[in-house]
Amino acid sequence: MANLGYIGLGAMGSLMADRLMANGHQVTGYNRTKSKADWLVKKGMTLADSPKAVAQAADVIFVMVTNSPALEAVANGADGLLAGLSPGKIVIDMSTVGPATSRAIATKVREKGADMVDAPVSGSIVTLQQGKLSVMVGGTKATFDKVKPILDALGPKVTHVGENGLALVMKIATNLSLAVQMLAFSEGVLLAEKSGIPRATAVDVLMHSVIASPMVVYRGPFVLQMPEEAWFNVNMMQKDMMLALELGRQVDVPLPTTAVTNEFLTTARAMGLVEEDFATIFKVLANMAGVRP
């Protein structure tokens, strides 16, 4: 049993904290909106008043927040994560942020005598519930070896990809394909539909064809009925696409399909679809094709 902390108990973070507790670990958590953590408290989690308090209470501290500004907000300041660190502690940041931001915070963590790895995941709420998340880890090999037994509780694939920041590079490289695949899938569905094939039939055929990646299997049905609550909304997906485009510019890798798909996400925002799952780019393309979404 490990003494863990978890900062950021959103849709994914809360389920991860729950899974860690189910594996016998003690968890102290923090979330900006405390009420969202009530169900975890009932299951045995201790709720702290600040990121600092979590860092003081735990030996290994997970962080999962929305973006770079949010990570900097929970890390810095009098009540921030950094203020509660002491030698020997480990921070596992699971947020998808810019590699440079993560590396800068890792440097501050090490100044406290602690260490940090970036450990974003590939998967969704469904894959997490099934215990099938893939975890990428960037940091020293020694620290990776210490935290791997804990991360194994989240999924069967935990991979050390290199130094700090490189797991985030791998996550960005992975996530750009999600939206690109969704757009390509939408093109296929609409081409079939406008040619006279019922949408549900087209979706079923494609989901059982050679293009049926896990993303298509999970999100293909969304073109028939969007979920009431987004798994990963338009803003969150576009944040990752922008990170990819910026990284591509930095390392001179052209990302043409990423750039085009990003414009569909911008159009989704303009259409008022920002809170919907990013699969709503089907609606954008459907409107362009003159088809009722």
Catalogue the active-site residues: 171
Specify whether the CB–CB gap between 181 and 174 falls below 8 A. Answer: no
In tens, the pLDDT along 174-214 reads: 999 999 999 999 999 999 999 999 999 999 999 999 999 98
User: Would you place residue 118 in the very low, low, confident or very high pLDDT band (cuts 50, 70, 90)?
Assistant: very high
In tens, the pLDDT along 263-275 reads: 999 999 999 999 9
Given a cut of 90, whether residue 125 has pLDDT beyond it is no
With residue 270 as reference, give the H or E element that holds it.
helix 256-270
Question: What does the pLDDT average to over 127-141?
Answer: 88
Q: Report the pLDDT value the prediction gives residue 34, as an integer from 0 to 100.
A: 87
- Please state, rounded to an integer, the average pLDDT across all residues of the chain: 94
pTM: 0.88
In tens, the pLDDT along 217-230 reads: 989 999 999 998 88
In tens, the pLDDT along 64-76 reads: 998 999 999 999 9
Q: Report the pLDDT value the prediction gives residue 229, as an integer from 0 to 100.
A: 87
Q: Report the pLDDT value the prediction gives residue 129, as an integer from 0 to 100.
A: 78
The three-class DSSP label of residue 31 is coil
Q: Report the pLDDT value the prediction gives residue 142, as an integer from 0 to 100.
A: 97
Domains of the chain, CATH where assigned: 3-162 (3.40.50.720), 169-288 (1.10.1040.10)
